[in-house]
Copies of this chain bind each other. A is one copy, B any other.
Amino acid sequence: MEYKEAKEKFISTWGSLGSLWGINKAMAQIQSLLFISTKPLAMEDIMEALKISRGNTSMNLRQLMDWGIVTKEIIPGQRKEYFTTEKNVEELARHIAKERSRREIKPVLKVLKEVSSIKDDGTAKTKELIKQTKALHDLAETADTMLNRIANQDQNWLTKSILKLIK
Contacts and interface: CB of A to CB of B under 8 A. Distances in A.
- List the number of copies, as a whole number: 2
B166 A104 contact: no
Given A90-B139, A165-B165, A3 B118 contact: yes
A143 B159 CA distance: 9
Contact of A129 (B10, B93, B125, B159): B10
Interface in A77-112: 87, 89-90, 93, 100, 104, 107-108, 111-112
Contact of A1 (B37, B104, B118): B118
B129 A89 contact: no
A123 interface: yes
A106 B37 CA distance: 25
The majority secondary structure among interface residues of chain A is: helix
Interface residues of A, number: 56
A86 to B, nearest CB: 11
Nearest to A134: B89
A125 to B, nearest CB: 5
Given A9-B111, A20-B100, 16 more contacts: A2-B119, A3-B121, A6-B129, A9-B114, A9-B115, A10-B112, A19-B19, A20-B22, A35-B132, A36-B129, A36-B133, A37-B125, A38-B124, A93-B139, A146-B162, A164-B165
Interface of A: 1-3, 6-7, 9-10, 13-14, 17, 19-20, 22, 35-38, 87, 89-90, 93, 100, 104, 107-108, 111-112, 114-115, 118-119, 121, 123-126, 128-129, 132-133, 135-136, 138-139, 142-143, 145-146, 149, 159, 161-166
